[in-house]
Amino acid sequence: MSDLAQLVSYDDAVARYEPVIGLETHVELGTTTKMFCGCRTTFGLDPNTAVCPVCLGLPGSLPVANRAAIEYTIRIGLALNCSIASWCRFARKNYFYPDMPKDFQISQYDEPLCIDGFLEVTVEGQVFRIGIERVHLEEDTGKSLHVGGATGRIHGADYSLVDYNRAGIPLVEVVTKPVTGTGALAPVVARAYVTELRDLLRSLGVSDVRMEEGSLRCDVNTSLAPVGAAEWGTRSETKNVNSLRSVERAVRSEIERQAGVLDAGQRVVQETRHFHENDGTTTSGRSKEEAQDYRYFPEPDLVPVAPDADWVESIRAALPELPAARRARLQAEWGLSDQDMAALLNIGALDLVGETVAAGASPADARKWWLGELAMHANKAGVELPDLAVTPAQVARVAELVHSGALNDKLARQVLEGVVAGEGSPDEVVAARGLAVVSDDGALTEAVDAAIAANPEIAAKIREGKVAAAGALVGAVMKATRGQADAGRARELILQRLT
Ligand SMILES: [Zn+2]
């Protein structure tokens, strides 16, 4: 019934209802072997070639926990400001699914490895501290492939295939606390959180965090309550959202749908929902299980995990510079205002500017070219800035040519245009287009003399000591050389001749 309720426009929905969101993110760890056996974790192998009795759940096989996976999980927990349990256990989560050969998943239940942390994100100048409820370790399931039928789902399929290569790959689940107080920004905050988490995980070196390959997957919980209500609404859970953009769209779509359900006087059903990439909407999945449905109990085949305090501290000491700290450091080093930094991040130019500076350009030059000329080219071509056909080293070379006086800004823009258009390196474009600044005195002197001859009144003023008038003659020289003259040298020559 609820799917038949009218959608409400987004602005209207958030004017009257307060969203609460929650995010459960699954991350496949980049260990070389699986969680409880020695099978390879390589992506894209032939189906069922990375399996053994343990990850196939054959009778009598026994799991052994992967130490690297536990270390990675602690690393994630520490980076998310969590407390690390000194003693915890794995638990069996019992349910049947064809891609889960044991009929239970080894997970963690009431004793997660990491608890009670936070991650901060900045949206539109506002800092949101997203509470982290828990970070726990489990094993991934296999993968079902439904053949035939239009949607790739089991409904309408002719037959299904199962690949157990993924079964048993270590999986970390990061669960947020309910996120309140975001109002109309809820979808953007959700996206900013997953983006920040992805960048954090990448900097920790624990996962390749490729959303398109499924190594980072997100379940998005959304609920609505009337503004000012004492209690939160019933939440829906949109499963396996596979891109940053989709995270934002899924929250937005659920806000519009649930507002319609509530407006119609109906109740939001607690259920899982599927997200559809094509139109950005969700449809009903299954009614949500409660924890008790899984009959959790401590895994009897594994010893408890009791990370030594010294080990945890050594992991903490070895944490790399995290993205937020790196951003703050670069902003200070480059002398950028908050606004400049936000502009740079919005356009995805942080690493590009960093690499351009590393290649020898000044931060001001690197920022100027990427945010100005090159952003304009990316925008015109409809591509992201990093996909533009110009490298940070090439931008640094253009900045160097400007500094040495070989190019002025106008010519540099033409050089970058040529590089982006695939005409070659900056030096090749300069040569091919004949763009070098004219600073050899022979050619310049000719232009200077012509300008003086053509403007006798201005020349007379300069002779009388009104040096400021030289600007007009420099302008005439620039015009005559179609912008290729070295303006500084032209001015020197004019003053030499007239004073
Ligand atoms: Zn195995």
DSSP 165-190: TTTT-EEEEEEEPPB-S-GGGHHHHH
Domain presence at residue 2: no
Q: Flag whether pLDDT at 4 surpasses 70.
A: no
Q: What is the pLDDT of residue 334?
A: 94
Q: Can you name the residues that pair with 117 across neighbouring β-strands?
A: 132
* Ligand 1 centre distance from Cα of residue 105 (Å): 14
Q: What is the pLDDT of residues 362-418, one digit of tens each?
A: 999 999 999 999 999 999 988 889 889 999 999 999 999 999 888 888 889 999 999
- Both 428 and 488 in a single domain? no
Separation of 109 CA from ligand 1 center, angstroms?
23
Domain holding 86, by residue range, is: 10-314
Other Cβ atoms closer than 10 A to 338: 10
Residue 2 has pLDDT above 50, yes or no: no
- Is residue 233's pLDDT more than 90? yes
Measured from the Cβ of residue 497, the count of other Cβ atoms closer than 10 Å reads 15
Separation of 38 CA from ligand 1 center, angstroms? Answer: 6
Tell me the CA distances in angstroms from 450 to 484, 488, 490, 491, 496, one per residue in order.
16, 17, 12, 14, 15
Residues 238 and 327 in one domain: no
Q: Indicate whether 1 belongs to any domain.
A: no
Which range among 5-9, 58-62, 379-383 has the greatest average pLDDT?
58-62
CA–CA distances in Å: residue 197 to residues 77, 82, 246, 473: 12, 14, 16, 58
**Tokens of residue 49, six digits:** 């070639």
Least confident of 196-200, 220-224, 342-346: 342-346
Give the residue, 3 or 484, on which the prediction is more confident. 484
pLDDT tens by residue, 120-170: 999 988 999 999 999 999 999 999 999 887 777 778 889 999 999 999 999
The predicted structure's pLDDT at residue 6: 77
Q: Residue 61 Cα, ligand 1 centroid: separation in angstroms?
A: 10
Short-list 288, 373, 383, 371, CA closest to 336: 371
| Cβ-contact 119, 127 below 8 angstroms | no
Structural contact between residues 172 and 130, judged by C-beta atoms closer than 8 angstroms: no
Q: Which of 263, 292, 314 finishes a domain?
A: 314
Q: What is the mean pLDDT of the chain?
A: 92
* Residue 179: pLDDT over 80: yes
Residue 31 CA to ligand 1 centre (angstroms) = 13
Same domain, 246 and 383: no
Q: According to the model, what pLDDT value does residue 178 have?
A: 97
Identify whether residues 409 and 447 lie together within a single domain. Answer: no
> Are residues 386 and 272 part of one domain?
no
Confidence grade of residue 288 (pLDDT, cut at 50, 70, 90): low
By the 8 A CB rule, do 126 and 97 touch?
no
Q: How many CB atoms within 10 Å of residue 138?
A: 22
Confidence at residue 3, expressed as pLDDT on a 0 to 100 scale:
53
Assigned domain for 4 exists: no
pLDDT surpasses 50 at 466: yes
Question: Widest CA span of the chain, in angstroms?
Answer: 104
How far does residue 46's CA lie from ligand 1's centre (Å)? Answer: 15
Identify the pLDDT of residue 286.
73
Domain boundary among 433, 451, 466: 433
Q: Can you tell me whether residue 276 is helix, strand or coil?
A: strand
> Which of 126-130, 210-214, 456-460 has maximum average pLDDT?
126-130
CA 201 to CA 211: how far, in whole Å?
12
CA of 352 to the centre of ligand 1 (A): 41
CA of 60 relative to ligand 1 center, distance in Å: 14
Q: Are 418 and 424 in contact (CB under 8 A)?
A: yes
Percent of the chain residues past pLDDT 90, beyond the cut: 67
Angle at which helices 456-463 and 470-480 cross, to 10°: 140
408 and 462 housed in the same domain: no
418, two tokens: 């040529």
Q: What average pLDDT does range 235-257 have in this prediction? A: 93
Quick one: which of 318, 188, 345, 328 has its CA closest to 251?
188
Average the pLDDT over 113-117 and give the result: 98
Q: Is the pLDDT of residue 330 over 80?
A: yes
The Å distance, Cα 55 to ligand 1 centre, comes to 4
Query: What string of DSSP letters covers 378-432?
Result: HHHHT--GGGSS--HHHHHHHHHHHHTTS--HHHHHHHHHHHHTT--SHHHHHHH
Q: How far is the CA of 138 from the centre of ligand 1 (A)?
A: 15
Model pTM? 0.82
| Domain count of the fold of the chain | 3
CA 36 to ligand 1 center in whole angstroms: 7
Indicate the range of 115-124, 151-160, 220-229 predicted with least confidence: 151-160
pLDDT tier for residue 1 given thresholds of 50, 70 and 90? very low
Residue at a domain's end among 289, 314, 339? 314
Q: Tell me the CA–centroid distance for residue 168 and ligand 1, in Å.
A: 7
Range of 172-176, 273-277, 402-406, 481-485 with top mean pLDDT: 172-176
